[in-house]
A and B are shown apart, each in its own frame.
Chain A
Amino acid sequence: MDVDKYIASGILELYIAGILSEKENLEIANYAKEYPKIQKEIEAIEASILELSRKASPGYNYSFAALMNRINGEVKVVDINEKRSSPLLSYIGWAASVLLAVGLFWMYQQNQDLKSDIEVVEKQNVDLEQQVADTDSSLEQTQELLNTLRDQNISVIALGGQAVSPTSYAKAYWNKKDQKVFIDAKGLPEPPDGFVYQVWSLKLSPLTPTSMGLLEDFSADENKVFSLNNPNESEAFGITLEPAGGSESPNLEQLYTLGVVATS
């Protein structure tokens, strides 16, 4: 299980609020035993609510002894000196009450069944609405991307694969006016652990590379489109594979793609 993702979902906050189903409560209690990180997070969330509620308290100082006195005082004494009525009446009474009890029990069962049905449907409903919300936000992102790429100030530079990786390719969308470059890196292989792609703006004569930034979280990014700032008068763009954190100057042996800006 992805513990961080589980924590980030916000379900533990709802757990402390006490508004989850019994099944979910049990599930979380088990996770908390299995993953110390989840246990710690639960305690931290609880601590924040404890702190908030303590701040709202009018300073409660009612002693425990007094509370126990009240509890012990509330034990009721039942009067056992009741008069006996005739046996027949009492039998009928008993029979009626047994019938009533059976009937009530049956109604109770029916009610419980209905309630659990409703709970299941509501849960499904929540899941579906969550999906819709997720889809909406992903659609929004895609639209935004499309609008950026359609901007009239954009020039497109195709970056072709180089000796290290001839099949690689990438595209740079350069908005000179906003000094932004969007790198579409869908055609690059996933970088190995401990390495990261770095994008360079190049001047050709003499060859001067300037780092524009890293393609961080490469594998997690679904679109593989990265936005970088580029205040340079670039003549070409290149992408190299560098150790995590990036390098001062490019390792040209690990040059994956390169493309020259068309002069207009």
Chain B
Amino acid sequence: MQLDLLVEQFKKKDPSAFEKLYSMYSENICGVINTIVKNDALAQEICQDVFIKIWNNCESYNSSKGRFFTWILNIARNAAIDEIRSKSYKNDKKNLSADYFVGILQHKQEDENTTVDTKGLKNMVKNLKEKCVQIIELLYFRGYTQKDAAKELDIPLGTVKTRNRSCISQLRENMAVR
């Protein structure tokens, strides 16, 4: 309920409510962006832009857009996807759309300067099947519809919902054991 109040205040352009939401979610949002752009500095830069956008559009949020986090998640992934579609980025790194967020782990082994919590990320996904990693990536970090995800993964549309649920359950178990 406290979150609801905070969001109400934020919609009235209350900077202190915005500050609290910022401290609650900025790291997550930056993480979401990083799963897409896989570049620490760039992710941080887009993250700032996203929060400016969130502030400027605060009135447009309401519960028909889902949870508050879901709303900003949507804004963040759109911004990140726009970025990797832009020309400048294409020249920089090619073929990124092909690998999934666990790809961060591979990138990081080559680059020792990163601050990503690779060990924690590994623990979260350690016993997740490949198909789980894929479906979570598509639905949460890419914003694919059920239909697009089914097509991409070459599975029947009717199984997307149930498979995703069992994958998220696995993720929740992994969280619980630590």
Contacts and interface: CB of A to CB of B under 8 A. Distances in A.
B27 A70 contact: no
B153 interface: no
A8 B168 CA distance: 12
Contact of A56 (B48, B69, B116, B168): B116
Contacts of A60: 26-27, 29-30, 43-44, 47
Interface residues on A, range: 35 or more
Nearest to A44: B172
A11 B161 contact: yes
A17 B168 CA distance: 11
A19 B171 CA distance: 20
Interface residues of B, number: 65
A252 interface: no
A68 B146 CA distance: 37
Interface stretch (B15-23, B81-89, B91-99): B15-23
A208 to B, nearest CB: 44
B28 interface: yes
B80 to A, nearest CB: 12
A129 B147 CA distance: 10
A46 B28 contact: no
A10 B164 contact: yes
B109 interface: no
Contacts of B104: 56
Question: Which of A8, A47, A59 has the largest number of chain B CB atoms within 10 A?
Answer: A59
Contacts of A99: none
B15 to A, nearest CB: 7
A64 B48 contact: no
Contact of B124 (A23, A45, A55, A125): A55
Given A13-B164, A56-B32, A51 B26 contact: no
B141 to A, nearest CB: 8
B9 interface: no
**B-side interface mostly:** helix
A125 B162 CA distance: 17
Contacts of B29: 53, 60
Contacts of A55: 31, 116-117, 120-121, 124
B22 A64 contact: yes
B67 A46 contact: yes
Given A58-B44, A133-B158, A17 B27 contact: no
B139 A19 contact: yes
A81 interface: no
Contacts of A52: 31, 121, 124-125, 136, 140, 171
Given A14-B146, A25-B63, A60-B44, 6 more contacts: A13-B165, A17-B139, A18-B66, A56-B121, A58-B114, A60-B26
21 contacts: A9-B161, A10-B164, A18-B74, A19-B139, A25-B65, A42-B67, A46-B69, A48-B175, A49-B73, A50-B69, A52-B171, A53-B31, A53-B141, A54-B28, A56-B34, A56-B116, A58-B31, A58-B34, A64-B23, A71-B55, A130-B158
Interface of A: 8-11, 13-20, 22-23, 25-26, 28-29, 42, 44-60, 62, 64, 67-68, 70-71, 74, 122, 125-126, 129-134
Sorted nearest first, the 10 A-B pairs with minimum C-beta distance are: A133-B158, A57-B31, A10-B165, A58-B40, A60-B30, A53-B31, A10-B161, A56-B31, A129-B157, A59-B115
